[in-house]
Structure 1
Amino acid sequence: MKVIGLAGWSGAGKTTLLTRVIPHLRKEGLRVSVIKHAHHSFDVDVPGKDSYVHRQSGAEEVLVSSARRWALMHELRGASEPGLRELLTKMSPVDLVIVEGFKSEPHRKIEVYRKANGKAPLFPDDPAIAGIATDATIETTLPVADLDDVPAVAAMMRKFAISLVEWI
């Protein structure tokens, strides 16, 4: 299993890019999973549903299963947020795990940089950034791909992904 991150400021287009890159990687025969960092009190459960009620009642974990999917929700109940390394150990084996967000973690990443965001690029201060997907002209020795060049971004992700065993 290999891991590569997509990091960038909010609004840079990480999710949009991922929705285009994942199908491309799947066509290349890769099994792909995603870990996405969310903000504080996000919720994937629907108030009023049984799983929500179980979780609100104090269950540490609630696993919901159907013929189409299963989902496991784990409540931290005041415990510290787990780091990326710990979260990766919970993933089922696939060819490539793409980590969206977690920009302060030290895993290898592709920066998604959009000029219109008006923010400074991350790569000068983050040695874990191995390449950049952007709509801007950037002076760097790092490989750069256009945000709209899905095959180039996918190739960069494959090239710079690191083995989970090697990273952990």
Structure 2
Amino acid sequence: MRLYGVTGWKNAGKTGLMERLVTEITGRGIRVSTVKHAHHTFDVDHAGKDSHRHRVAGATEVLLASRNRFALMHELRDEDEPSLAMLLDKLAPVDLVLIEGYKRDTHPKVEAFRAETGNPLIATNDPTIRAVASDSPLDLDRPVFDLDDTLAIADFILAEVGL
């Protein structure tokens, strides 16, 4: 599977860029899956629902399925957070996996950057960041795209991964 990341600090525009990239790239007939890292606890089911009751009762995995989709929830009871590689092994084959977050992993990335957040550029010290999508002009040793130029960013990523 081909991998490409979108990384950046909080409120840099990562999720919006990911959403636009998925729409643009799938619109070209390319199959895309995504992986999103969360720094906090989250739930995809709700208290009182059967799947939640199964999980609370102690099930390690609960697979919730309907005719439209399925979701596999795996409780990390006494386990470490799974690595990106382990999670990627769980995905069905597609043309491209876009990864949001995982800034410390070694896959190639585009950094989303908004000057107003006051955060430093990650790209300055990270060779895995191959380009920056910014809301302001930057003078860097790698391509800088307008944060809203989804077409150009998609073209760059697809060229990088050979699609």
Tell me which amino acid in the other structure corresponds to 1:3: L
The equivalent residue for 2:13 is 13
- Find the aligned partners of 2:160 and 2:74 in 1 and give their Cα distance: 31
User: Does structure 2 conserve the Cα–Cα contact (< 8 Å) formed by 1:3 and 1:162?
Assistant: no
Report the AA paired with residue 159 of structure 2: K
Tell me which stretches of 4 or more aligned residues in structure 1 moved more than 6 Å.
none
Q: Give the distance between the partners of 1:125 and 1:141, measured in 2 at CA.
A: 11
Given that residues 135 and 146 in structure 1 are in contact (C-alpha distance below 8 angstroms), is that contact kept between their aligned partners in structure 2? yes
Structure 2 unaligned segments of length 5 or more: list them: none
Report the Cα distance in structure 2 between the residues aligned to 1:156 and 1:45, rounded to whole angstroms: 37
Farther-moved stretch of structure 1 (27-36 vs 37-46) = 37-46
Superposition pairs of residues 5-84 of structure 1, within 5 angstroms: 5-84=5-84
Residue aligning to 2:118: 118
- Residues 55 and 62 in structure 1, CA contact (< 8 A), matched pair in contact too: yes
- After superposition, residues 96-107 of structure 1 pair within 5 angstroms as 96-107=96-107
Aligned residues: 163
Taking structure 2 as the reference length, what is the TM-score of the superposition? 0.95
How far apart are 1:41 and its partner, in Å? 1.3
SS in 1 for 2:107: coil
Deviations 1:7-43 (A, max 9, x none): 0001011111112111110111111110000123111
Q: In 1, distance between residues paired with 2:43 and 2:122?
A: 28
Unpaired runs of 5+ residues, structure 1, are 164-168
Asked whether the equivalents of residues 130 and 160 of structure 1 are also in contact (C-alpha less than 8 Å), the reply is no
How far, CA to CA, are the matches of 1:39 and 1:54 in structure 2?
A: 24
Identity of matched residues, %: 46
Distance in 1 (alpha carbons) for counterparts of 2:21 and 2:59: 36
Shift of 1:3: 0.5
